[in-house]
Amino acid sequence: MERSLVDRIRDFVGAELVGNERFFDGRPEVPVKASHVLRDEGLANWWLPRDYGTLGASLEESVDVVAELAYGDAGFASSSFISILGADILHFFGNRSVAESFLGPMARTGGFCATLVSEQAAGSELGRIQTSFSIKNDHVTLNGQKFLSQNSAYADFLVVAARPTEGGSTVRLVVVPRDTPGIDVIKRWETNGLRGTGLYRVNLTDCKVPAANIIPGNGLRLLEAGLNASRILIAACAIGMSRRIRDISMDYARTKELKGSLLIDNAVFTSKIGQIEMLIDVMANQCKSAAVQFDDLCSAPDPAKALFQGGMLKSALAAKMYCGQAGWEVATIGSQMFGGLGYTEGHLIGKLVRDIRSVALVEGGDDVTRDLLFSRCVLPADNRRRVAAG
Amino acid sequence: MERSLVDRIRDFVGAELVGNERFFDGRPEVPVKASHVLRDEGLANWWLPRDYGTLGASLEESVDVVAELAYGDAGFASSSFISILGADILHFFGNRSVAESFLGPMARTGGFCATLVSEQAAGSELGRIQTSFSIKNDHVTLNGQKFLSQNSAYADFLVVAARPTEGGSTVRLVVVPRDTPGIDVIKRWETNGLRGTGLYRVNLTDCKVPAANIIPGNGLRLLEAGLNASRILIAACAIGMSRRIRDISMDYARTKELKGSLLIDNAVFTSKIGQIEMLIDVMANQCKSAAVQFDDLCSAPDPAKALFQGGMLKSALAAKMYCGQAGWEVATIGSQMFGGLGYTEGHLIGKLVRDIRSVALVEGGDDVTRDLLFSRCVLPADNRRRVAAG
Amino acid sequence: MERSLVDRIRDFVGAELVGNERFFDGRPEVPVKASHVLRDEGLANWWLPRDYGTLGASLEESVDVVAELAYGDAGFASSSFISILGADILHFFGNRSVAESFLGPMARTGGFCATLVSEQAAGSELGRIQTSFSIKNDHVTLNGQKFLSQNSAYADFLVVAARPTEGGSTVRLVVVPRDTPGIDVIKRWETNGLRGTGLYRVNLTDCKVPAANIIPGNGLRLLEAGLNASRILIAACAIGMSRRIRDISMDYARTKELKGSLLIDNAVFTSKIGQIEMLIDVMANQCKSAAVQFDDLCSAPDPAKALFQGGMLKSALAAKMYCGQAGWEVATIGSQMFGGLGYTEGHLIGKLVRDIRSVALVEGGDDVTRDLLFSRCVLPADNRRRVAAG
Amino acid sequence: MERSLVDRIRDFVGAELVGNERFFDGRPEVPVKASHVLRDEGLANWWLPRDYGTLGASLEESVDVVAELAYGDAGFASSSFISILGADILHFFGNRSVAESFLGPMARTGGFCATLVSEQAAGSELGRIQTSFSIKNDHVTLNGQKFLSQNSAYADFLVVAARPTEGGSTVRLVVVPRDTPGIDVIKRWETNGLRGTGLYRVNLTDCKVPAANIIPGNGLRLLEAGLNASRILIAACAIGMSRRIRDISMDYARTKELKGSLLIDNAVFTSKIGQIEMLIDVMANQCKSAAVQFDDLCSAPDPAKALFQGGMLKSALAAKMYCGQAGWEVATIGSQMFGGLGYTEGHLIGKLVRDIRSVALVEGGDDVTRDLLFSRCVLPADNRRRVAAG
């Protein structure tokens, strides 16, 4: 019987990630060797639509895959799925031949895509980005400074958010081959956690690409559609890390003596693990539910239209926010589980606490997400209710 | 176009429950008039399997129904669904003709079932109950004192947990018509909330029923299977109450002035509502996910076997625990939303805070649930992992 | 050896309050008989400065007294100390002979003072109150509607916040004998908790008092000074209620069986009580520290000046906010301590949960207090630091 | 006018610590240069009793000093005060001439003392330590392995907990000069935070010291007395770090734009800072209150007896537990304050989050402290109450 994707991933995690946490935490050169193993086993970019010859797993299944990968290393997991943001937008909204010209090779080589949006001054307000593009003779020229972008150094291509220097203010997304002259990766960030992935600061100076590389549509709206997938998978990382915290706690408790018996027989310990198990289950169901909604849009007769109209999915926003909060609750419990020993750097819990914090920080912190949930979900519904009642 | 079940329920809630909160909070005689309206509209016991001529809604759909009902009054909601515990056990595990003889009339009259398990000394440890039964000449005689049971006064029949006076210690569930001599409802409890339902203390003295009324199988195991449904629907009450808290907060904020503008424009307010909306979405997805798992077992080729083997479903336990905690977070926010006014009894928020507390208390408090999650879910999986690894 | 004030209060609480919780929770006519006992034992208004023939206890000692009273009934406690707000302002800032003419009799009869500030529309923004006064021929005439005021029905006199109908907008505080024509107590509020005290809605129609009854100084600034004392004592109520929750939990745990032994031997239970004990200790030290700061101002050479300049004391604000939050944490733990039994109205925990909520709501909810801490304490200090650095 | 100790410390912090956070976070060789500056300015070991020619500050004042130091670097702060554990025990309970022979030089040179208690297997249960001593010919010989001890590498002397190889099981504390043969510092721990101090693993092999170096009395009881001071000062570190988090947040908010204005004008931001300010005030008052109790014991006619009888002070336990929890709440808020930037290693918030975690972990995690509060504070008081009532 064929092993399922998740089973194959679990095998990969056991063989390549578990036990190598210090390596991944040491800011290794990325892509790491494990990425090549993933590619060689045909598992790279498992989430990419089947059109490109990949496994074409659903987002629902991807939640399980990512949770497994993050059980091993969340940074590695992140590198493996974060391409979905730009790639999905390109696939669903881009010109078909452009999409194929970039996604086809990426699928074949197990490559990466980077999405360059955030800028220092704009912060969470994407509408304030300053990177600009101008069009001349069927070519687009990009200039700007991008602050935090993952995978940029080793990506096959970048999806860059920019606004026109003239003629309207609508932000556009432009596909830029990585080897385009003018792309300058000026820094790899040292981060508190997620050190198994690469986070970069990138300058764009007179980067010139064909005008067809502009993805049609309002860039901010396209991003809203695309962020559903990446937010759900970021959230899914918290599932895997929480399971890891549970399991290393159980391992510890099986041998740790306390008051004449084992920690695993202590009611306070079992109570903590029970709480963690509840949180893991709720995180998983939230991510799965959100993913199913996304999958439904993707399998609509006109997925681009469905995704565009769907906009920001409430459950995707809620998944990212909830898993950030629940994961932090798990980490808070976990960080006290091992006494002073857990405060030493050799101990895995320190890495897990640092890694899990990222879930609440990337692609919209809690304040941003609460704001979006209010303005996008509560207020319109409330207004509809009032109109209906009025 | 026919209105869906949930739409019809929403109409009912708007017509019969919303606006009558003080009535329901005043410990009315139950069943209240609204129960008859529900019955007359063919909505009573919507969850009962279609075999009995009812709507036969899935548990997944029931989550939505219960959330709507609890938006109006959680006590009323509770009366309306809590029969599912005994009724489902009787339906899936009972003798077919016994099941039909009780569930058929209940379906036709919109009646109620009460499940009598808890006893004062036993508390959450069902294995310690003392109510006993003895069998003689094809009849069972029951004796004992049940501490907290819902619907008992006005139920059509009771499902009573008891242990044999001789011959083994296995707890059995026995179906007892409400008009059986020896059933003494000695007290209706005054409760902090959920006053729209009836909670009773019941003594059983030499209650005699046919031996065929014993539901085959280990009573505690049957309860474990049956509690999945009731726990999920109890959890679903927190969804509806949280939505109500959100909506009355929005109504208040639309007219309340603060610092020269309206509260609804205040960032702290919108942040709180955003957090509440996230919690509501997570609660709903958790309840739905758990309900789908239960529905899947019910539609297995041999549902009794599937439910029995399924035992306590992790997601059902997690749903009850999570919604208790998340609902309390919502209530804590809500109880500070209206200033001193919210502390006056005329204000709905006080009732909602009292009502929502029940979710964390009934059918297993957090300590019990954490313990179950650890011993039933974490420990066995961990042991399996060790065996696999060993 | 003479018994200390706190010991005498503890005796009183044991004799008059403990065991009568249902009476106090039943919205009794106030002042209740226990108030007369307090007076007859010479303990009434223990906090009133010694000048008036009372015990003249410090605010530090009053924290202990109030904690003891609230151990018995927080509503009764509240009636007993809330007069301090108006009385202290009158004592420190009022015309001496006016002060003596009101405080002297109050001291002799164990009477009450009510402070009428809050109005429906103004909410927490005291600057927006609409009650007005006009001066003519050495008399002040007051008109307005006060929303929430304690003790008004049975107070000896009221301290009313009002703004001039002409000539400036500065809010003033005016002392009004209770029997002044035009005072109309239109409603006693039904409240969720604190039912042992009386909370009222009061209309003032052409109430006429001598102009000398206007307390000199900006009324809002005087209130800021006076609120320090009442906020600290409100906070102190949470100490007493938390101790009560701890003690009834211990009593329960000494006899409740769980898993073959007593609850008191269960590690999860002891862990909860340990957490509660920590919170109680922190609440007590915070209230005491704030009280000592207030006492220091009161014993300055010019206490009125010291209190006025001191304004809102950071520690008093922090005490009220912290005790509201910590008390709610204790109540949340306590409300799950007794299983379903704790959800019945006969059980004391329900009353304690409702009573303790008041701490976070009266005299400034958390949002107001956080705002004050930021604008009054953090921002000025930060600005000073910047100036020093600049 | 002479500057106060706290002012002088603040100057020192501004000159030597602030701005050098990356240095301290880089696990520098300790004692760092700043220690020598502290010594040269006569500030080292400010807490040591005046008898030895030091400043002899009270523990109450030391709370302020430590908060200032931890504002700069908590690791450095920790090195500077943690000697108090062994030194205070030696001073109050040791043979006078032995005490002078160790504490005198330490005072003159600004040296350090290390207290070696914890062992790997024993964990938080000090009664289970295995390090042993035997007495022969007026000499004590020590053997054992100590797991986590601060300052050991560079201390002037060690205070070692050990149990006799024969003749009773009472743990004793033995003073051991650092240069005693057989002391082997086998490892400096890499820790998640507090990297400005040195934490070591130490083996003792046939370490021989005069028998007079045994401090008279039950070692575990002496430790209980001594831990009061160190626990309070560990707690005080959270005050300083929380202030730092507040201040860097304010600095950030003064220039960070959000929605067309500055972050510092955003209500959600000010609300967070208001909450932090409240927590800081409560932490400070709790530490001060506990310190005053300790100071009172130290100034009793027979301080050794008073400290011994005082045992574990409830407020000291509560201070450590509370500041661990409150500090973590501040850190949780702070770690989301700076968006993705705050997740980069150059940013101070990452270090502060890692550093502040130590407060909840060292010298008794929350589970241990809750247990102690229950068994040492609640249970005995409850039993007394019952005896009094019986």
- Give per-residue pLDDT as tens, B131-171: 999 999 999 999 999 999 999 999 999 999 999 998 778 99
Residues of B in contact with C190 (CB under 8 A): 344-346
Least CB-CB distance to D361: which of A257, A343, A365?
A: A343
Residues of A in contact with B371 (CB under 8 A): 267, 270-271, 274
Q: Is there a contact between D191 and A345 if contact means CB atoms under 8 Å apart?
A: yes
Find tokens 């203010």 and name the residue. Answer: A169
Nearest to A359 by CA among A251, A233, A220: A233
A305 Cβ neighbours under 8 A, 6+ residues apart: none
**Residue C157 · residue C185 · CB < 8 Å:** no
Q: What is the pLDDT of residues D29-80, one digit of tens each?
A: 999 999 999 999 999 999 999 989 999 999 999 999 999 999 999 999 999 9
Give backbone dihedrals phi and psi of D200, rounded to 5 degrees, phi first: -130, 160
**pLDDT < 50 positions in chain D:** 390
Burial D371-386 (b: 16+ CB within 10 A, else e): bbbbebbbeeebeeee
pLDDT at A64: 98
Instruction: Determine which of B126, B261, B343 to mutate to test the interface with C (most C C-beta atoms within 10 Å).
Output: B343
- Set of chain D residues whose Cβ sits within 8 Å of the Cβ of B266: 267
Q: What is the pLDDT of residues B54-84, one digit of tens each?
A: 999 999 999 999 999 999 999 999 999 999 9
Tokens for D255? 């220039």
pLDDT-derived band at A206 (thresholds 50, 70, 90) equals very high
Taking the CA atoms of A76, A82, A88 and A94 in sequence, report the sign of the dihedral they define.
Answer: negative
Q: Phi and psi of B344, rounded to 5°?
A: -90, 150
In B, which residues are within 8 Å of A271 by CB distance? 367, 370-371, 374
Of B270, B282, B378, the CB nearest to A322: B282
> Nearest chain A Cα to D355, which residue?
A343
Q: What is the DSSP letter of B191?
A: B
Pair of tokens at residue A82: 């974060």
Q: How far is CA C103 from CA B226, B302, C52, C84, in A?
A: 66, 81, 7, 11
State the pLDDT confidence band at B345, using cuts at 50, 70 and 90. confident
Q: Are residues C281 and D247, on separate chains, in Cβ contact within 8 Å?
A: no
Q: What global pTM score does this model have?
A: 0.97
Residue A35 has pLDDT above 80, yes or no: yes
Tell me what percent of the residues of chain B surpass a pLDDT of 70.
99
Tell me whether residues B123 and C366 touch, CB distance under 8 A: no
Residue pair A199/A150 in contact (Cβ under 8 Å)? The answer is yes
Q: Quickly list H helices, chain C.
A: 5-12, 21-25, 33-40, 59-72, 74-81, 84-93, 96-109, 219-253, 267-298, 303-310, 314-334, 348-361, 366-372, 379-389
Minimum distance, in Å, between the CA of residue D315 and any CA atom of chain C: 6
D263: nearest CA in chain B? Answer: B267
Shortest Cα distance, chain D CAs vs residue C212, angstroms? 39
User: Within 10 A of D346 (CB to CB), how many other CB atoms are there?
Assistant: 11
What residues of B are in contact with residue A267 (Cβ under 8 Å)? 371
Task: Centre a 10 Å sphere on the Cβ of residue B193 and count the other Cβ atoms it contains.
Answer: 24
Cβ–Cβ of C315/D273 closer than 8 Å?
no
Q: Does C1 touch chain A (CB under 8 A)?
A: no
Rounded to the nearest angstrom, the gap between the alpha carbon of residue C2 and the centroid of all alpha carbons in its chain is 28
Contacts of A271 in chain C (CB under 8 A): 268
Give yes or no for A130 touching D (CB within 8 A). Answer: no
CB contact under 8 A, D278 and C250: no
Q: Is B370 on the interface with A (CB under 8 A)?
A: yes
Residue D124: what pLDDT? 78
DSSP state of A344: B
Burial B142-154 (b: 16+ CB within 10 A, else e): bbbbbbbbbbbbb
Touching D: B residues 244-283, CB under 8 Å: 266-268, 271
Collapsed DSSP state (helix, strand, coil) of residue C52:
helix
Q: Where in D132-198 does DSSP place strands (E)?
A: 132-136, 139-150, 157-164, 172-177, 183-188
* Contact status, residue C128 vs residue C145, Cβ threshold 8 Å: no
CB atoms within 10 A of CB B136: 9
- D7 — contact with chain A (CB < 8 Å)? no
CB contact under 8 A, A250 and B378: yes
Contact residues on chain D for C288, CB-CB shorter than 8 A: 289
> Residues D114-156: pLDDT tens digits?
999 999 988 878 889 999 999 999 999 999 999 999 999 999 9
Task: Please give, rounded to a whole number of angstroms, the shortest distance from the CA of C157 to a CA of chain B.
Answer: 23
Partners of A360 on chain D (C-beta within 8 Å) are: 336
Peptide bond just before A31 cis, omega within 30 deg: yes
> Cβ separation of D274 and C373 shorter than 8 Å?
yes
Distance from CA of C224 to the nearest CA of D (A): 18
Q: Is A132 helix (H, G, I), strand (E, B) or coil?
A: strand
From chain A, the residues in CB contact with C268 under 8 A are 267-268, 271
Q: How far is C317 from chain B, CA to nearest CA, in Å?
A: 17
Tokens 């390109």 belong to residue: A90
- CA-based R_g, chain C, Å: 21
Chain B residue numbers touching A370 (CB-CB < 8 A): 270-271, 273-275, 278
Question: Residue B369: CA atoms inside 13 Å, Cβ hemisphere, count?
Answer: 31
How close, in Å, is residue B185 to chain A by CA atoms? 36
What is the helix (H) or strand (E) element at residue B288, kind and residue range?
helix B267-298
Give the residue among A42, A29, A38 at the shortest CA–CA distance from A72. Answer: A38
Share of chain B above pLDDT 90, in %: 91
C383 pLDDT tier (thresholds 50, 70, 90): confident
| D123, D192, D332: residue with CB nearest A350 | D192
For residue A139, the model assigns a pLDDT of 97
Chains contacting chain C through 3 or more C-beta pairs under 8 A = A, B, D
Residue ranges of alpha helices (H) inside B115-264 are 219-253
Tell me: the pLDDT tens digits for C70-96?
999 999 999 999 999 999 999 999 999
Query: CA-CA distances (angstroms) from residue C176 to A348, C127, C162, C166, C198?
Result: 68, 21, 12, 20, 19
| CB pairs C-D closer than 8 Å | 112
Residues B330, B276: contact at Cβ < 8 Å?
Answer: yes
As a residue count, chain C comes to 390
Contact (Cβ atoms closer than 8 angstroms) between residue A175 and residue A102: yes
Cα–Cα distance, A199 to A194 (Å, whole number): 9
Inspect the interface and report whether the beta carbons of D344 and A190 lie closer than 8 Å: yes
Task: Cite the DSSP H helix spans in chain A.
Answer: 5-12, 21-25, 33-40, 59-72, 74-81, 84-93, 96-109, 219-253, 267-298, 303-310, 314-334, 348-361, 366-372, 379-389
**pLDDT tens sequence across A277-318:** 999 999 999 999 999 999 999 999 999 999 999 999 999 999
Kind of pairing between the strands at B113-116 and B157-164: parallel
Which chain D residues contact residue B268 at CB under 8 A?
A: 267-268, 271
CA atoms within 13 A on the CB side of A119: 20
Q: How far apart are the first and last CA of chain A?
A: 60
Task: List Cα–Cα distances, A380 to A375, B26, B267, in angstroms.
Answer: 7, 35, 17
C314: which chain D residues are within 8 Å (Cβ-Cβ)?
277, 281
Nearest to A246 by CA among D26, D254, D281, B381: B381
| Closest residue, chain A, to D124 (C-alpha) | A339
Q: Which of B89-103, B370-384, C24-38, D284-298 has the lowest mean pLDDT?
A: B370-384
> With contacts defined as CB-CB under 8 Å, which chain A residues touch C271?
268
Q: How sure is the predictor about C244, in pLDDT bands with cuts at 50, 70 and 90?
A: very high
Instruction: Decide: helix, strand or coil at residue B195.
Output: coil
Query: Over chain B, what is the mean pLDDT?
Result: 95
Which of D277, D251, D235, D269 has the alpha carbon at shortest distance from D347? D251
Contact criterion met (CB < 8 Å) for B318 and A281 = yes
**CA atoms of A222 and C250, how far apart (whole Å):** 59
Measure Cα distances from D312 to A16, D93, D161, D322 in Å: 49, 16, 18, 16
D193 touches chain A (CB under 8 A): yes
DSSP assignment of D304-353 equals HHHHHHH-S-HHHHHHHHHHHHHHHHHHHHHTTTTGGGGGBTTSHHHHHH
Instruction: Name residues whose C-beta falls within 8 Å of residue D390's C-beta, 6 or more positions apart in sequence.
Output: none
**Distance from C-alpha of C163 to C-alpha of C172, rounded to nearest angstrom:** 6
B261, B264, B268, B333: best to mutate for the D interface, most D CBs within 10 A:
B268
What residues have CB less than 8 Å from B254, skipping those under 6 apart? B262, B263, B264
Residues on chain B touching D271 (C-beta within 8 angstroms): 268
CA-based nearest residue in chain D for residue B266 = D267
- Residue A148 contacts B where some CB pair is shorter than 8 Å: no
Q: What is the mean pLDDT of residues A117-139?
A: 91
pLDDT at B383: 80
Tell me the shortest Cα–Cα distance from B121 to chain D, in angstroms. 24
- The ipTM estimated for the assembled molecules is 0.97
Kindly list the distances between the CA atom of residue C83 and the CA atoms of B119, B202, C224, D138, in Å, as whole numbers in the listed order: 48, 49, 15, 70
Other C-beta atoms lying within 10 Å of the C-beta of residue A26: 10
The sign of the CA dihedral D4, D5, D7, D12 is positive
- The continuous run of DSSP H or E covering B369 comes out as helix B366-372
Q: Could you tell me which chains touch chain A, where touching means 3 or more CB pairs under 8 A?
A: B, C, D
Average pLDDT, chain C: 95
**DSSP 3-state assignment of A198?**
coil
Alpha-carbon distance B372 to nearest alpha carbon in chain C (angstroms):
13
Whether the predicted pLDDT of C390 surpasses 60: no
| Pair D131, D139: CB distance under 8 Å | no
Whether chain B has a CB inside 8 Å of the CB on C193: the answer is: yes
In whole angstroms, give the CA distance from residue A24 to residue B39: 62
Q: Quote the pLDDT of residue D387.
A: 67
Tokens of B268: 């702290």
Looking at residue B1, its pLDDT comes to 61
**CA torsion sign, C253 to C255 to C258 to C259?**
positive
Beta strand D139-150 pairing with D199-210: antiparallel
How large is the average pLDDT for residues C88-105?
97
